[in-house]
Structure 1
Amino acid sequence: MKCLLTLITALAMTAGFAKAADAPPNIVFILSDDQAYTDYGFMDHPVIKTPNLDKLAARSAVFTRGHVPTALCRPSLATLATGRYAHQHMISGNDPASDLGKNSPGYDALRERLISHFDKQPTLPKLLGEKGYLSHQSGKWWEGSFQRGGFTHGMTRGFPEKGGRHGDDGLKIGREGLQPIYDFVDHAQSEKKPFYLWYSPFMPHTPHTPPERLLAKYRDKVDSLNVAKYYAMCEWFDETCGQLLDYLDQKGLTENTLVYYICDNGWIQDPDSKGYALRSKQSPNEGGTRQPIMLSWPGVIKPGKRDDLVSSIDLMPTLLSAAGARIPENLPGVDLMPLLRDGKKLERDTIYGETFDHDVANVDKPEDSLLFRWVIEGNWKLLLTYDGQLGANYAKTHPRTEKRPQLYDLSADPQENQNLAKDHPEIVKRLADKIAAWWPVTERQVFTEWSDEPKNWK
């Protein structure tokens, strides 16, 4: 009987793979906006309730040590759309620096030039379009209109339209229901086309304005009203995810839909203000860059929690592989599909990241705004601090109080409180060499452990 069950299971899995090969999966992307990696039920948060994402996690491969290379929304989203690091796609910050002439015709020209770098990249929607996919954008989107990103359908008018910056009309999604998504899914079904859906609501992002019914659940569980509002926003966002996933289920689409999930960057709520605390958003610390990554495709992707080091750069080749679409040459990420199918361990043990100022000092040269580069190898994490131009926005929220190299053992110190650089100079040197080989920086200088003044690291 045991052998018979094993044979039946094997045949079922084979059938699942045949289904995937015969019909490309629908692909649904769920992107949270400003949420810490800890702030989910499936990540064992003691207070926040996320039952719908917990349900998704139960049927997903969950990479609990996922990361984004850049902990700021615009460059993070550009990486998700292109599969490249910010220094490659050239979208290093949210806006050109205001001292370059904000509200002037010249400033608008800089905004256009920044988007033009993105135009040169083969985006995920464009590549899926080559395979016959229809695609829909909703929520956050910075790079002009949805059409400019390669989507066939969408909500964002984008720059240079009035109010076009980071989503405009698209920011209604989630907070004001999901009808545009439902309409698109129905349209794709009527056209008998596979579809790609970009669901990136302005949630739990500020303004933290949750329904009172949800805020009431958290008022007495924490000492800060600001924290209670943020927690309630996380649950409100989770509700909208449940509405989306339930709709797919009602339409009989769950079995042949690959759902993937991540957040653009971390957020640690400041209990004394409406903003975020240090070492979260915009920061190279784990509170800014670490994000769980989930991928679900019933019958194809093996569910379970995994501790492999993965990055959002891995999602582009993985999704194109799942769809049987063309994968551009020289993408820095790894196609995870073979591992997702059989549950094997990822052999790569190193990932990289970079932090730039919120405001772009030079739209043609990301290096001019470079503040940090970092690497994680196993459980070792090294942060290097650079002398890039520091705008007023970042200076207020992330003063470079520790300029010299920071080395942390994440297994013993996940909060990165104990800098071990002085105790392990050989590890600092080895990891610094890895960073230099990953992305050679030619003009910016790094602060070393020997001096508070910047010096080139040789």
Structure 2
Amino acid sequence: MNIIRKLSLGLLALSILISCGKGTKKETEIGLVKAENQPNIVFILSDDQSWTDYSFMGDENIETPRIDQFAKESLTFTRSYVPTPLCSPSLATIITGLYPKDHGIIGNDKVYKRVKGDRSASKKNRAEAYKPVIAAFEKQTTLPDMLKEKGYLSFQTGKWWHGNHKVGGFDYGMTHGDPKRGGRHGDYGLKIGRTGLDTINNYVDLALKQKKPFFLWYAPFLPHRPHTPPARLYEKYKKKTDSEHLAKYWAMIEWFDETCGQLFDMFEEKGLTENTLFVYVCDNGWRQNPDKSGYMSDSKRAPYDMGIRTPIMYKWAGKIKPEMNKTTITSSIDMVPTVLDILNIEKPKNLPGVSVLDKKALEARKGIFGEVYAHDFDTIENSMYYNMAIFPPYKIIVPDPVRKPKEKVQLFNIDADPFEKNNIANENPEIVLKLKDKIKAFRSK
């Protein structure tokens, strides 16, 4: 990695950004011409949302008109997955294209000493414990690193767990990552979306002024808790349910949908839509508990589809043919290889994913894998909770014999049983053995 990049101060980057102002119409047009064969790239990441919680996915209560329209205009895979049901490791996969076991971020926090009655000391211990994790992750090659060879600028907004945005290879970003100033999972970045998109507007104008294609990471703290939607949306959904917790969660999703619309409108107004690849994914699932402010145990942090399934969508107007694909299994490990394929960048050999535009590769790959570790993790060996293998029509969940000794292997036919109600492991020992062998091979790589 570029050492200068690593030593650059986010504060200096911000001052440069502010001084740049907005690009003129002439500059915008020039920028578009130069980037004609190098599309701008935007990753849109939802935060804590079930795969079912969209209008286009069949929900009868939640309204997501802008994402619904986006799905119609995209190559949309409704049966896609992230490899783990927790935000930090999931985001690390999205930016590297690696499974958690390979990029090393397997939980949200490194095991640290909690000091009873002293929150400040606990936070300090947590930050100290996480420093080696950040140092190790900084050695990973991220998508922004790979894009530099094509002259891309990279911008970070929203959720970011891994220290300063520079650690991920971003040229500019909202997250300072300093634990002494509240840095942990996004700090200033968490304002994006909830308080508008002005920072993104400035970033885009900076790229246009410099006549460079860009990569934008839009990972707003939405619909993630705190569930504090605008009153107008909360009142709207209160009429649909007796649960204030469901009403707030549903309202948060529509609020997120509105911010996606604002982003799309911004790009349209700047004349960037046709030369931009938009990719959508959710970091992990969430099934709202109707009785309190929290999630149901089969969703976030769980190995079930409510924790790891998500639609993944790719839109590049006039270049990628829209299709609603309801059968092919894809994963967030495919996002980086797809971008590299579009830009004719050779895919690093250590990336397990494939380009979703390569139909032969998709057909040749029969399945994908998943991993669940402790929220506060240590080593891979002593933090493992579950391994999953998804080889349609079957999905297997294998609990760790040490940390989950009372749990049984579960096998589901997810074609016939998408909500995983009927464990058919006992009736299919050969399939269980076959999928266990696939997991062993996956773990050994």
TM superposition score category, shorter chain reference: 0.7 to 0.9
1:338-357 equivalences under 5 Å are 338-339=358-359, 346-357=363-374
* CA distances 1:19-67 after superposition (whole Å, capped 9, x unpaired): 9996211001100000000011111111100001011111101101100
1:358 aligns with 2:355: no
2:225 is matched with 206
1:325 Cα deviation after fit: 3.1
1:284 Cα deviation after fit: 0.7
1:151 aligns with 2:155: no
CA contact (8 A) 2:74 2:314 kept: yes
2:438 is matched with 434
The farther-off stretch of 172-181 and 346-355 is: 346-355
1:282 aligns with 2:286: no
1:310 aligns with 2:310: no
1:132-151 equivalences under 5 Å are 132-151=151-170
CA–CA distance in 1 between the matches of 2:171 and 2:391? Answer: 40
Q: Please, which of 327, 343, 355 is the counterpart of residue 347 of structure 2?
A: 327
CA–CA distance in 2 between the matches of 1:415 and 1:231? Answer: 20
* CA distances 1:64-106 after superposition (whole Å, capped 9, x unpaired): 1100001100000000011111111110000012347773866
CA contact (8 A) 2:36 2:275 kept: no
1:147 Cα deviation after fit: 1.3
1:299 is matched with 318
Amino acid at match of 2:351: L
Runs of 5+ consecutive residues of structure 1 not aligned to the other structure: 1-18, 390-399, 442-458
Q: 1:327 to 1:100 in 2, by over 3 A?
A: farther
1:40 aligns with 2:21: no
Q: 1:285 to 1:59 in 2, by over 3 A?
A: same
CA–CA distance in 2 between the matches of 1:277 and 1:234? Answer: 17
* CA distances 1:322-376 after superposition (whole Å, capped 9, x unpaired): 123343222111122334xxx996332211000001111x2xx222100000111
CA contact (8 A) 2:111 2:129 kept: no
CA contact (8 A) 2:356 2:362 kept: no
CA contact (8 A) 1:158 1:168 kept: yes
Counting aligned pairs with the same residue, the percent is: 49
1:50 is matched with 64
CA contact (8 A) 1:24 1:324 kept: no
1:148 Cα deviation after fit: 1.6
Tell me which stretches of 4 or more aligned residues in structure 1 moved more than 6 Å: none
CA–CA distance in 2 between the matches of 1:21 and 1:344? Answer: 28
CA–CA distance in 2 between the matches of 1:259 and 1:402? Answer: 43
CA–CA distance in 2 between the matches of 1:33 and 1:388? Answer: 31
CA–CA distance in 1 between the matches of 2:415 and 2:195? Answer: 41
Amino acid at match of 1:369: S
CA contact (8 A) 1:255 1:298 kept: yes
Q: Please, which of 233, 249, 254 is the counterpart of residue 235 of structure 1?
A: 254
CA contact (8 A) 1:143 1:149 kept: yes
Instruction: Name the count of aligned residue pairs.
Output: 407
1:383 Cα deviation after fit: 0.5
1:25 is matched with 39
Q: 1:316 to 1:404 in 2, by over 3 A?
A: same
1:164 aligns with 2:183: yes
CA–CA distance in 1 between the matches of 2:437 and 2:35? Answer: 42
Q: What SS is found at the alignment partner of 2:426?
A: helix
Amino acid at match of 1:48: I
1:408 Cα deviation after fit: 0.6
Q: What SS is found at the alignment partner of 2:278?
A: strand
1:184 is matched with 203
* CA distances 1:278-298 after superposition (whole Å, capped 9, x unpaired): 110011100001000000001
Runs of 5+ consecutive residues of structure 2 not aligned to the other structure: 1-32, 116-120
1:129 is matched with 148
Q: What SS is found at the alignment partner of 2:348?
A: coil
Q: 1:351 to 1:111 in 2, by over 3 A?
A: same
CA–CA distance in 2 between the matches of 1:108 and 1:39? Answer: 34
2:20 is matched with none
CA–CA distance in 1 between the matches of 2:295 and 2:179? Answer: 30
CA–CA distance in 1 between the matches of 2:349 and 2:235? Answer: 51
TM-score (norm 2): 0.88
Q: Please, which of 418, 425, 430 is the counterpart of residue 421 of structure 1?
A: 425
Q: What SS is found at the alignment partner of 1:273?
A: coil
CA–CA distance in 1 between the matches of 2:114 and 2:221? Answer: 28
Q: What SS is found at the alignment partner of 1:279?
A: coil
2:19 is matched with none
CA–CA distance in 2 between the matches of 1:20 and 1:375? Answer: 43
1:62 aligns with 2:76: yes
CA–CA distance in 2 between the matches of 1:143 and 1:434? Answer: 31
